[in-house]
């Protein structure tokens, strides 16, 4: 185990990712974590992340000096590096020149374990306004840049390493090598953390925890809840009941696809209940136009339907949640990064269900690791590589009132769009893409007749973290083909538009 102590920097999850890519297990904790807890965990290494503060300012995030005296190797990155120097007697000040972006770093000490196998001149990602003006006693400078006399420093004897730049960012060309050097060479991790053993281990733990108890899972058909359900099914078979609520706002055929995998005809051993609540939702949504109100109705109705089903099942011992690691970090539980969004998931936690405990088997995994686990357990690729799909479903891709007719239009248009994107071989390279239904109707002409129909909007974005996004550049021929097919095949549509807006100022979804 390596632990990452989070000081609020924007790349913190990346640090954890890179460490995991070395097949070393790691977890992120806030800088507020008690040192006793760290001692208990006895990690093989500690990484201090970047952060937005100046470490010499009053009230800045800090840590006890004892951290550096535990005999555990510590690597400080950016703010973490400055803090290490500051605490151990070095000096950090406002830099005369702020460094930002790709910067050439010159390695001065080729015997440094961090730079083993790294070029003497190497491009690194810098982002700092403070700098280490004097290194702490016992340290030597191991690299510099044109503007920064200490780009890295170390105290080899005590296994303390400070790096001003960001090796976790891919713009640092040999950054992965440096982090791997730290975890493998300095911390001497064995690098044998693998997905198959994680899955096996998790199944074993679930079995022990659940015993002969009953488990209930709200299955949405999304990647996370599907992988969680399969893991539970492998562990405890029919002690698991999955409730799948079809709210009528799913993509075309999605309800049947979920049933094909998890239902009685599918390969997994579990109880599967599909609730066809489509009409109920359409009734509730009738006449409602305001986006937030729609979201609220969809969310609340889900909880109600789910509770009703749970009541029929009776008392259960555990409730499964498909929480994944970024959810934990984003909601401020794991790390220090600001809470950025609190999207309401239809899979939100119902209040009135009688259960003892929550099981979150994917709590420690990143999204791509969840996918790996899914493939490992034999889930079909189309399910594992499914696009993100919002909890409120098509409800927030139909602007204005939701009706059964509009749902049909957007489902059909979206299915064509997805099919053509896949035909063009773009389905894995675009971050997220879907069709939405604008509330606009306009005049057109078709077969010599006047039409007055809806306009469909195509959306496709590339994004790394879904917090910012750019419209994807889809080849014109592909868009043209999609347009022709939608107009020809989807009744009620006479116009197709492509949304060019980035986020911000737009959002990815329409509502």
What are the binding residues? 220-226
Tell me the closest approach of the beta carbon of residue 201 to ligand XMP, in angstroms. 28
Q: Are 497 and 440 in contact (CB under 8 A)?
A: no
Rounded Cα distance, 30 and 69, in Å? 19
Residues making up the binding site for ATP: 220-226
Question: If binding is defined by CB under 6 A, does position 507 make contact with ligand XMP?
Answer: yes
Write down the least CB distance from residue 360 to ligand XMP, Å.
16
Cβ proximity of 218 and 306 under 8 Å: yes
Nearest approach in angstroms of CB 484 to ligand XMP is: 27
Residue 484 has a CB neighbour count (10 Å cut-off) of: 13
Q: Give yes or no: 78 in active site.
A: yes
**In the set 147, 173, 470, 509, which binds ligand XMP (CB under 6 A)?**
509
CB 301 within 8 Å of CB 281: yes
For 246, list phi and psi in degrees, rounded to 5: -90, 105
- CB 343, min distance to ligand XMP, A: 4
Is the backbone peptide bond immediately before 115 cis, with ω within 30 degrees of 0? no
**Choice from 280, 296, 344, 481 touching ligand XMP (CB under 6 A):** 344
d(C-alpha 338, C-alpha 343), whole Å: 15
CB nearer to ligand XMP: give 11 or 434: 434
Part in contact with ligand XMP (CB under 6 A); list of ranges 168-176, 234-242, 446-454, 501-509: 501-509
144 DSSP 8-state letter: E
Interface pick for ligand XMP out of 144, 158, 274, 343 (rule CB under 6 A):
343
Concerning whether 148 is annotated as a catalytic residue, the answer is no
Q: Reduce the DSSP state of residue 458 to 3 states and report it.
A: strand
Does the protein bind ligand XMP through residue 390 (CB under 6 A)? yes
For residues 324 and 508, which CB has a smaller minimum distance to ligand XMP in the complex?
Answer: 508
CA-closest candidate to residue 329, choices 70, 2, 15: 15
**Minimal distance, residue 469 CB to ligand XMP, in Å:** 7
The percent of the chain in helix, strand and coil, each rounded to the nearest 5, is 35, 25, 40
- Considering the candidates 148, 166, 217, 369, report the single residue annotated as catalytic: 166
Instruction: Give the span between the Cα atoms of 499 and 476, in whole angstroms.
Output: 13
Shortest reach from residue 287's CB to ligand XMP, in Å: 21
For ligand XMP, the binding residues in 204-263 under the rule CB under 6 A are: none
Stretch that binds ligand XMP, among 83-91, 355-363, 409-417, 503-511 (CB under 6 A): 503-511
- Given a contact cutoff of 8 angstroms between Cβ atoms, the answer to whether 53 and 220 are in contact is no
Q: Given the rule CB under 6 A, which of 4-12, 180-188, 255-263, 500-508 is the region that contacts ligand XMP?
A: 500-508
Query: Which stretches does DSSP call E strand in 324-392?
Result: 357-359
CB of 503 to ligand XMP, least distance (A): 5
Burial tier of 283 (Cβ tally within 10 Å: 0-12, 13-18, 19+): exposed
Active site residue 166: yes
- Name the packing angle between helices 195-210 and 223-236 (round to 10°): 60
Looking at beta carbons only, is 34 or 289 nearer to ligand XMP?
289
Nearer to ligand XMP, 62 or 507 (CB): 507
CA separation for the pair 224, 325 (Å, rounded): 11
Q: Which is nearer to ligand XMP, 50 or 391 (CB)?
A: 391
| Least distance CB 393 / ligand XMP (angstroms) | 9
Stretch that binds ligand XMP, among 56-64, 86-94, 201-209, 340-348 (CB under 6 A): 340-348
The CB-of-479 to ligand XMP minimum distance in angstroms stands at 21
Site stretch for ligand XMP (CB under 6 A), options 36-44, 138-146, 339-347, 481-489: 339-347
Of 432, 438, 451, 462, the one binding ligand XMP by CB under 6 A: 432
Q: Is the dihedral of CA 425, 387, 460, 368 positive or negative?
A: negative
Number of amino acids touching ligand XMP (CB under 6 A): 13
Q: Which of 134, 185, 485, 503 binds ligand XMP (CB under 6 A)?
A: 503
Residue of 22, 26, 78, 148 with catalytic role: 78
218 vs 302: CA distance, rounded Å: 10
Site string for ligand XMP, 130-159 (x = CB under 6 A): ------------------------------
Helix and strand totals (H; E) in the chain: 14, 18
Query: Looking at 22, 86, 148, 168, which residue is catalytic?
Result: 168
Q: Binding ligand XMP by CB under 6 A: which of 248, 392, 395, 436?
A: 392
* Parallel/antiparallel/unpaired status of strands 140-144 and 152-155: antiparallel
Nearer to ligand XMP, 367 or 485 (CB): 367
Whole-number Å distance between alpha carbons of 408 and 48: 51
Q: For the CA atoms of the chain, what is the radius of gyration?
A: 26
Q: Pick the binder of ligand XMP from 388, 400, 444, 492 (CB under 6 A).
A: 388
Residues 6+ apart with CB under 8 A from 93: 56, 130, 131, 133
- Please identify which residue in 391, 395, 407, 412 interacts with ligand XMP, judged by CB under 6 A: 391
Q: Residue 400 and residue 313: Cα distance in Å, rounded? A: 36
Q: What is the DSSP letter of 231?
A: H
- Which residue ranges make up the site for ligand XMP (CB under 6 A)? 343-345, 388, 390-392, 432, 466, 503, 507-509
Positions marked active-site: 78, 166, 168
């Amino acid at each position: 185990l390596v632990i990452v102590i989070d000081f609020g920097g924007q790349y913190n999850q990346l640090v954890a990712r890179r460490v995991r890519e070395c097949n070393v297990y790691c977890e992120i904790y806030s800088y507020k974590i008690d040192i006793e807890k760290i001692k208990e965990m006895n990690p093989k290494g500690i990484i201090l992340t970047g952060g937005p503060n100046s470490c010499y300012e009053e009230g800045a995030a800090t840590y006890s000096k004892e951290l550096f005296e535990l005999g555990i190797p510590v690597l400080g990155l950016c703010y973490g590096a400055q803090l290490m120097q500051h605490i151990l007697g070095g000096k950090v000040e406002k830099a005369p020149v702020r460094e930002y972006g790709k910067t050439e770093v010159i390695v001065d000490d080729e015997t440094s374990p961090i730079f083993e196998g790294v070029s003497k001149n190497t491009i690194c990602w810098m982002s700092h306004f403070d700098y280490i003006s004097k290194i702490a006693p016992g340290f030597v400078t191991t690299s510099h840049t044109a503007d920064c006399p200490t780009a890295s420093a170390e105290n080899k004897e005590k296994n303390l390493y400070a790096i001003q730049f960001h090796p976790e960012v891919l713009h640092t060309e040999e950054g992965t090598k440096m982090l791997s050097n730290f975890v493998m060479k300095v911390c001497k991790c064995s690098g044998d953390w693998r997905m198959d053993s994680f899955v096996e281990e998790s199944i074993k733990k679930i079995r022990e925890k659940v015993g002969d108890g009953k488990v209930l899972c709200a299955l949405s058909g999304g990647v996370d809840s599907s992988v969680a359900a399969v893991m539970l099914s492998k562990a405890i078979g029919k002690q698991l009941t999955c409730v799948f609520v079809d709210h009528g706002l799913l993509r075309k055929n999605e309800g049947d696809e979920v049933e094909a995998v998890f239902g009685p005809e599918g390969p997994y051993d579990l109880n599967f209940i599909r609730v066809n609540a489509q009409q109920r939702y359409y009734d509730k949504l009738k006449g409602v136009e305001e986006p937030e109100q729609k979201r609220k109705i969809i969310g609340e109705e889900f909880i109600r339907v789910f509770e009703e089903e749970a009541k029929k099942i009776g008392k259960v011992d555990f409730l499964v949640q498909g929480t994944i690691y970024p959810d934990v970090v984003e909601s401020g539980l794991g790390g220090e990064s600001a809470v950025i969004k609190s999207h309401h998931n239809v899979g939100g936690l119902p209040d009135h269900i009688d259960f003892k405990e929550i099981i979150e088997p994917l709590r420690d995994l990143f999204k791509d690791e969840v996918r790996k686990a899914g493939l490992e357990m034999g889930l079909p690729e189309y399910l594992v590589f499914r696009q993100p799909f919002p909890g409120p479903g098509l409800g927030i891709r139909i602007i204005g009132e939701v009706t059964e007719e509009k749902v049909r239009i957007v489902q059909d248009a979206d299915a064509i769009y997805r099919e053509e994107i896949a035909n063009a071989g773009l389905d894995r390279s675009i971050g997220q893409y879907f069709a939405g239904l604008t509330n606009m109707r306009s005049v057109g002409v078709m077969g010599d007749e006047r039409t007055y129909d809806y306009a469909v909007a195509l959306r496709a974005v590339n994004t790394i973290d879904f917090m910012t996004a750019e419209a994807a550049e889809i080849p014109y021929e592909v868009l043209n083909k999609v347009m022709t097919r939608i107009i020809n095949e989807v009744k009620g549509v006479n116009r197709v538009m492509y949304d060019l807006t980035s986020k911000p100022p737009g959002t990815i979804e329409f509502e």
